[in-house]
Amino acid sequence: MLRMTATFLALTAASPALAASGPFFSLGNTNFVVLLAFLLFIAVLLKFNVPSLIGSLLDKRAEGIKSELDEARALHDEAKSLLASYERKQKEVQDQADRIVAQARSEAAEAAEQAKEDLKASIARRLQAAEDQIASAEANAVKEVRDRAISIAVSATKDVVAKKLTAADGNKLIDAAIGEVDAKLH
């Protein structure tokens, strides 16, 4: 209201207002007519309570802006808490991944050690099997040599006996052998 009064005084005190011809309070003076229209306009505005309506609209707008700012702050705070939550979860997941990798490495090392031990045991079993085969082959070879030696000795003895033994001596030996078998069987 104070502004309107100041504006009115500035308009009436201005030099162009004094430039109008004739008496000021006549309808022929355009300045007076404009002043009356302006005062009538102000009266209509005041009659319909426009300044309070404008004030209430501005207050509503201010409240709307304030509520939007509050909502923006709340969303900002929520975003911060979500970010902190996701950072914690990301750290937990990273820690879990590090534990899984460490466990996998230790299991791989244990598996490698077990594989080495299994390989050593397999090599030892194969060496033992090879040694057993060699021993068996050696025993078979010794047996074959012994059998062959016996066969050669029997053949040589047969030849020597055949040359030195006469028919009568052979018959005596056969009769003695038959008697011995007969004694042992009965």
pLDDT at 108 over 60: yes
Domain that holds residue 102: 23-113
Is 5 inside any structural domain?
Answer: no
pLDDT at 16 (0 to 100): 53
pLDDT at 165 over 90: no
Is 156 inside any structural domain?
Answer: no
Is 46 inside any structural domain?
Answer: yes
Query: What pLDDT, in 10s, does the model give residues 88-97?
Result: 999 999 999 9
Query: What pLDDT, in 10s, does the model give residues 25-63?
Result: 788 888 989 999 999 999 999 999 999 999 999 999 999
The tally of domains found in the chain comes to 1
- 12-21, 90-99, 158-167: least confidently modelled range: 12-21
Please give the full DSSP string across the chain, using - where no structure is assigned. Answer: -HHHHHHHHHHHHSGGGGG--S-TTSTT-HHHHHHHHHHHHHHHHHHTTHHHHHHHHHHHHHHHHHHHHHHHHHHHHHHHHHHHHHHHHHHHHHHHHHHHHHHHHHHHHHHHHHHHHHHHHHHHHHHHHHHHHHHHHHHHHHHHHHHHHHHHHHHHHHHHHHHH--HHHHHHHHHHHHHHHHHHH-
Is 101 inside any structural domain?
Answer: yes
- State pTM to two decimals: 0.39
Is 39 inside any structural domain?
Answer: yes
Average pLDDT over residues 113-132: 92
Report the mean per-residue pLDDT for the chain. 85
Is 175 inside any structural domain?
Answer: no
pLDDT at 171 (0 to 100): 80
Is 176 inside any structural domain?
Answer: no
pLDDT at 159 (0 to 100): 77
Average pLDDT over residues 8-29: 64
User: Cα separations (Å) of 166 from 151, 159, 171?
Assistant: 23, 13, 9
Is 13 inside any structural domain?
Answer: no
